[in-house]
Amino acid sequence: MQYALPHGLWPVMLTAFDEEGELDWHGIDALTDWYIEAGSAGLFACCLSSEMYHLTPQERLGLVRRVVRRANGRVPVVATGAFGGSIPAQAESMAQMADTGVAAVVVLTNQLVPQDAPESLFQQQLEALLDATGQMRLGFYECPSPHRRLLSPELSGWAAQTGRFLYLKDTSCDMQAIQAKLDATRNTPFGLFNAHQPTTLASLEAGAAGVSPTAANYYPELFVWLCQNPKHQKAEFVQEHITEMMAVTRMQYPASAKYFLQQRGLPITTRCRVNREVLSSDTLRALGGLRDTVQTVRQHLTKSSSG
Answer whether 106's CB lies under 8 Å from 138's CB: yes
Give the pLDDT confidence score for residue 1 in this predicted structure. 40
What CATH number should be reported for the domain holding residue 142?
A: 3.20.20.70
Give the pLDDT confidence score for residue 2 in this predicted structure. 64
2 in a domain, yes or no? no
Q: Name the residue type at position 161.
A: Q
277 in a domain, yes or no? no
End-to-end CA distance of the chain: 40
Residues 40, 305, 205, 148, CA torsion sign: negative
Q: Write the pLDDT tens digit of every residue in 176-208.
A: 999 999 999 999 999 999 999 999 999 999 999
In angstroms, rounded to a whole number, what is the distance separating the alpha carbons of residues 234 and 53? 39
Give the pLDDT confidence score for residue 227 in this predicted structure. 98
* Count of domains for the chain: 1
Query: Is 20 buried (19+), middle (13-18) or exposed (0-12) by CB count in 10 A?
Result: exposed
224 in a domain, yes or no? yes
Q: Which residues of the chain have pLDDT under 70?
A: 1-2, 304-307
b/e burial code for range 283-294 (CB count within 10 A of at least 16 → b): beebbeebbeeb
283 in a domain, yes or no? no
pTM of the complete model beyond 0.85: yes
243 in a domain, yes or no? no
282 in a domain, yes or no? no
Structural domain of 36:
8-229
In angstroms, rounded to a whole number, what is the distance separating the alpha carbons of residues 10 and 173? 17
Residue 98 CB neighbour total at 10 angstroms: 19
285 in a domain, yes or no? no
163 in a domain, yes or no? yes
